[in-house]
Structure 1
Amino acid sequence: MKSLRIPENNIYNAYLIEGDDMELIKSSAIDFAEKLLIRDASDEDSEAVPIYMERGYESREEWEDSVRKRVSNNEHPDLMIIRPDKPEDNPTTVSVGNIRNNINGTVEVRPYEALYKIYLIEHAECMNQQAQNALLKTLEEPPQYVVIMLLASNSDAFLPTILSRVIEIKAGERDVKEVISDMLSEDWSKETVHFLSEIGFRNGKEILDFTDKITKEWKIPIGTFLSFIEIVLRDVLCYKSTSKIELIYGHEIAQDIIKMSTVMSYEKLGRATENIEKAFRDLPLNVNKEILIEDFLLKLRHN
């Protein structure tokens, strides 16, 4: 994965930081937040009283060290991190209450010590439509000191009205071979592709049971699951077109890839790909992710 740097010359009220490595984009967002939190009005206005003096620190270096330490410990009062909160046993949704309580209900309170008040929303693609509409109210007229960063793996999950009000920054993408290699190191991936290779012979109950396994036993993030299937379908199409096993990414699942290529026509592969794209678009609109996966698998069985 390439590194990610957020431009610091112009500061905007809202950003969408997109990438397939949440740890990378979160680290980059925290680094950016830290830089904002140590900004001082005296940097641009020589007559302004430096913040470190107002806060009782002996030097700017001592104040900056304090800021960095509190950011690292998630203790800075002007940095709020919002995470998926529903359902409680396996958080996969950023709820409307989460947005209302932690953002809408606090933005009017000015920063305690910094020039900016910063909100980071992890896995922001997990906001349902109600949560996005609630956030929109703040994005429409944010206080000047507010900076909101949406950290997400998929911009397609957001309403157009949200996208029109954020600055989009994309992280460099990981090599697909590296992505699928990481996925194939986990047991769920091999079992999933084997199930997909035989899905035409599976009945409705087996598909329901497998959906439960994905969401409740393995607890795979839906975006990760869909991304894996997207790569698998790419491999199926590649092998079907070339018959060259060396061109597919998932060498460890080659036999299942070959089996799928023999039973799926180009038309069926096209429909399956369209269904994947629809599932990605529907992510923010479906509170019940089990229904989304079940619907996709049933359509794939039909194909």
Structure 2
Amino acid sequence: MAGFDHIIGHSDVVEHLKNAMKMDKVSHAYIFNGEKGCGKNTLAREFAKALQCQGEGERPCGQCQSCRQADGHNQPDIIEVSHDKPNTIGVDDIREQVVGDVQVRPYSSPYKVYIIPEAEKMNQQAQNALLKTIEEPPEYVVILLLTTNAASFLPTILSRCVMLNMKPASDELVRQFLMEHVQIPDYEADICVAFAQGNIGKAERLASSEYFSEIKGAAIHLLTHVKDMDIGEISQSVKAVTEFKLDIRDYLDLLAVWFRDVLYFKATSDANGIIFKENVRAITGQTRHCSYEGLEQILEGIRKAKARLTANVNFDLTMELLFLLIKENQ
């Protein structure tokens, strides 16, 4: 499938980028803003490939030398910025790979495209170094900042870039993708779709996990027995889940799907509308012990736990507080 056709969702962003190329109004800097797994990396790389495409008609053609090089990650005028420190993009990274390189004209393409993944990790010095290039770039330079948190950028950077916010894909598109690319039963696809909340990468990550059944089983066992467990047993159960190499925030999203099911069933008694259909008996039992207020508190507690973990708050303390809240509301 050529060009942007394999991009799932983001039709408004794709249309914007296509129009910019068609009207020869490509900006010198873009911010692709969206949560991990939403498709911003794929979209940015496809845009970079289209900018350098040598073919006629719809770009990228996928057939020319430049497109083939881009697909092989060896197009000399598409530069992906890397960094050695896992949590920081430092000023030296930006100076060496961008600032010190932009004055060299493209080797064989109309543009030099710099892709900066995880751009929210740029420290203030790195952002200031990049700002000078964004303010006065050579005409052939295009910088693509990929981030999960555009608010981390300096206001001066935000004001000089085109902001492209990634919106969630529809549940129908997520389901269609899973059925075409990952062979899983319908009921597991339902869980992945609800869990993903429009994020293709999240859905694929869970659906492709060889530990899917174990992860789901461990989560359900914990949720149905938490009222009888002490905090030490709960901590051990949660730590065991992390051994499956699933992001703990993904695990929390799985818990949120469960409690939304409990809340939905408590309000409607409609088993057809829940995601964990094969666990309707356990969900029915929980509706008797949980109040509406308690379920809202649990869902808010899960949201806060995700935010705390993102902010690098102590893992054990965060999970202990969450499961104490769940116990109290059972």
Per the normalisation by structure 2, the TM-score is: 0.64
Whether contact under 8 Å (2:127, 2:154) holds in the other structure is no
Residue aligning to 1:31: 46
Please give the residue correspondences for 1:80-229 in structure 2 after superposition, counting only pairs within 5 Å: 80-81=79-80, 94-97=86-89, 100=91, 102-103=93-94, 105-108=96-99, 109-110=101-102, 112-113=106-107, 114=109, 115-121=111-117, 124=118, 131=122, 136-137=127-128, 140-143=131-134, 144=137, 145-150=141-146, 152=148, 158=149, 160-162=151-153, 165=158, 166-175=163-172, 177=190, 179-180=193-194, 183=206, 185-215=212-242, 217-229=243-255
Q: List per-residue Cα deviations over 1:116-141 (Å, max 9, x = no partner).
A: 332142xx49x6xx656566546655
RMSD over aligned Cα atoms: 3.9
Separation in 2, partners of 1:221, 1:186: 16
Give secondary structure in 1 for the equivalent of 2:144: strand
Shift of residue 187, structure 1, vs aligned partner: 2.2
**Where in structure 1 are there 5+ consecutive unaligned residues?**
41-60, 87-93, 153-157
Q: What is the aligned residue count?
A: 263
Amino acid at match of 2:224: S
Separation in 2, partners of 1:232, 1:204: 21
**Where in structure 2 are there 5+ consecutive unaligned residues?**
1-6, 176-189, 196-202
Separation in 1, partners of 2:325, 2:95: 39
Separation in 1, partners of 2:83, 2:220: 28
Q: 2:31 aligns with which of 2, 6, 15?
A: 15
Separation in 1, partners of 2:83, 2:321: 23
Shift of residue 192, structure 1, vs aligned partner: 0.5
Shift of residue 290, structure 1, vs aligned partner: 5.6
Residue aligning to 1:74: 73
Give secondary structure in 1 for the equivalent of 2:74: coil
Higher relative contact order (CA 8 A, sep 6+): 1
Residue aligning to 1:244: 270
Shift of residue 272, structure 1, vs aligned partner: 1.3
Q: Percent identity?
A: 19
Whether contact under 8 Å (1:100, 1:134) holds in the other structure is yes
